[in-house]
Structure 1
Amino acid sequence: MPPRTVGPSREATAQTRRRGEELKQAIFGAVLDELRTTGYARLTMESVAGAAGTGKSALYRRWPDKEAMVRDALRSTLPDPDEVPRTGDTRTDLVALLRFLQAVFNRTRGTLFQVAASEAGTDTGFMRSLVNDHVVTPCKVRIGEVLRDALPDGGEPPSDLDLLAEVGPAMLTHRCLTGDATISDGYVEAVVDGVLARLTGQGPARGPDARP
């Protein structure tokens, strides 16, 4: 009697039968794992398909190339600045928005975001563009709204208000990209108080415990 042919394992069959959101999340998980273990330069559509337990055609139906695929995978991990609640208190709201950025930068320092940025940024800049478009720029817009709401009724906004809205995100971004120490709560509050002092002259005094 001829030996029985062994078919695909149940696990492999289950993987190939995944559809829709379940398959997409498996692919995203594989992308993140590949970035951690091999880096962006060596990541391929083939390696991701193998790690996700699917075929390359499933990837190419969704994305034209690996950059688009990596962009979507990383974007799925980024939080939304619009979810930061507004309280109506200027300092509280500014601190909350900068702490949102602080959490993003602290969480991604030395991990897959920095790995991908260092390998791909010099060629396309898509990683910095991704973080800027989906996190930093929306945060600047929200900060600008908070600063405008802080103006006295009928008060004329300063001509450099938009520049003031960029100060906090720019300072936190600089700390992240230059590989400085983890951004502290004291540093965030010092930046906020400096902006408030410039805008309203009411920034609270800072003691030695607020040093970055």
Structure 2
Amino acid sequence: MPHATQAAPKCSRSRRRGEVLERALYEATLAELAEVGYGGLTMEGIAARAHTGKAALYRRWGSKHDLVHAALVFALPPVPEPRAGRSARDSLLTVFTAHRDVLAGKTLFPSLDTIHQLLHEPEMRIIFADAVVGPRLQLVESILQNAIAAGELDPATVTPLTARVGPALINHHFMLTGEPPNKRDLAVVVDTVIPPRATTRASAN
């Protein structure tokens, strides 16, 4: 009997639970995704990399589709909310800097090469649009509306594609140069999205 009572702590001592286990599963998913791509991704491979059983995955997610969705949301930094009293231009610069940091590999989010692979999968393209791109475009659109209200942006210059201009230019810079844009580059992107108003000319007229 004494031997039986001492065995229980040994079995559970290294067992991971809750957020600790989920983080390990997310990290294993992202690592497998980068190594084998979405097409080669399996629940078995993720479980093996995370040093756990498949049951730990299936208790939480019904398929690799659901798990990758959750892993992308986990890896993506929170959307930086605009602060009160900050100009629309400064708010936009904060959002674009966060976007740059993702491309620069400063977060757990997959690399651009991995994202390109995901976008070839129809179901993952939908997830990426809804979970990653959509919330950030909504934030940029709200900043643009604030800029219009504050007189920083002429509403006649805003189109349904204006919110996409900044992220597209940042991605374009990275793909052409292999390097994320620096602070000066980001400032130029902000000037492109919200052109500085010609206040001197306006006052002279």
| The two structures share one fold, judged by TM-score above 0.5 | yes
Task: Report how far residue 46 of structure 1 moved.
Answer: 1.0
Matching residue within 163, 168, 173 for 2:161: 163
Task: Report how far residue 85 of structure 1 moved.
Answer: 3.5
1:79-113 CA-partner distances (Å, limit 9, x unpaired): 1224454543232222112112111222279x843
1:127-165 CA-partner distances (Å, limit 9, x unpaired): x54454344332332222223223367998327354323
The alignment's C-alpha RMSD in Å is 3.5
Q: What is the letter of the counterpart of residue 27 of structure 1?
A: L
SS where residue 77 of structure 2 aligns? Answer: coil
- Structure 1 segment 3-82 matched on structure 2, within 5 A: 10=10, 13-15=12-14, 17-82=15-80
CA distance in 2, matches of 1:168, 1:86: 22
In structure 2, the CA distance between the partners of 1:38 and 1:161, relative to structure 1 (3 Å rule), is closer
CA distance in 1, matches of 2:123, 2:103: 17
What is the TM-score normalised by the length of structure 2? 0.72
Q: How many residues align?
A: 191
CA distance in 1, matches of 2:85, 2:130: 25
CA distance in 2, matches of 1:21, 1:81: 21
Gaps of 5+ in 2: 1-6, 200-205
Q: What is the letter of the counterpart of residue 46 of structure 1?
A: E
Percent identical among aligned pairs is: 31
SS where residue 76 of structure 1 aligns? Answer: helix
Matching residue within 138, 149, 152 for 2:135: 138
Larger helix fraction of residues: 2
- Structure 1 segment 173-184 matched on structure 2, within 5 A: 173-176=171-174, 180-184=178-182
8 A contact 1:26–1:52 mirrored in 2: yes
SS where residue 148 of structure 2 aligns? Answer: coil
CA distance in 1, matches of 2:183, 2:154: 31
What is the TM-score normalised by the length of structure 1? 0.70
Matching residue within 93, 97, 107 for 1:99: 97
Q: What is the letter of the counterpart of residue 98 of structure 1?
A: F
CA distance in 2, matches of 1:108, 1:129: 25
8 A contact 1:39–1:115 mirrored in 2: no
SS where residue 79 of structure 1 aligns? Answer: coil
Q: What is the letter of the counterpart of residue 136 of structure 2?
A: C
8 A contact 1:95–1:192 mirrored in 2: yes
Task: Report how far residue 125 of structure 1 moved.
Answer: 5.8
